[in-house]
Amino acid sequence: MVKILMVLSCTCIIASCFLLSDGDSPKSTKPPQEARVVDIGGAVILIGRLGKPLGSEIEVLGKWSLPKGIVKDYSPRFTVSRVDGKLLEKEVEFNVAVVKVFEKNLYTSALPSFEKRGTLDGKEWTLTAYETGRIGIVPQTGSFPDVTMPYYTDAFISELVGVLK
């Protein structure tokens, strides 16, 4: 029972840290909950932006695009529309900086070099993948200067790792 409550409360914590494709984070009316880092992957299961536990093997369908209009970062985006064959209620966007895709041999990156990334625009990819991530919390007071983080970062930075099908 305690494990179930801990998983539920930690799911609420992580839900408040999700990155949405428009860069806004949902606001929680609940006070923050605490969970020990050592419990992640055991007593605490983190649910990713794609709606599955982090580290779960999934099949994703997504499309690459370049941003339109005036933005701070013109890097390609990979927008996932389907997970395990199911259409997502809301598409999830990943900046190329947090996407790692390999060819079937697992040694060669499927992503073109930086200079050629514009060639991704409009391409649809199906991946065998998993969602993972990292904590990106930076102190905003004290000895640390104000750090400007990229638009796609938040307390938890979602990453997508996959193999091109």
pLDDT at 82: 98
Question: What are the tens digits of pLDDT across the range 99-154?
Answer: 999 999 888 999 999 999 999 999 999 999 999 999 888 777 767 666 666 767 77
Three-class HEC string of the chain: CHHHHHHHHHHHHHHCCCCCCCCCCCCCCCCCCCCCHHHECCCECCECCCCCECCCCEEEEEEEECCCCCCCCCCCEEEEEEECCEEEEEEEEEEHHHEEEECCCCCCECCCCHHHHHHHCCCEEEEEEEEEEEECCCCCCCCCCCCCCCCCCCCEEEEEEEEEC
Predicted model pTM: 0.76
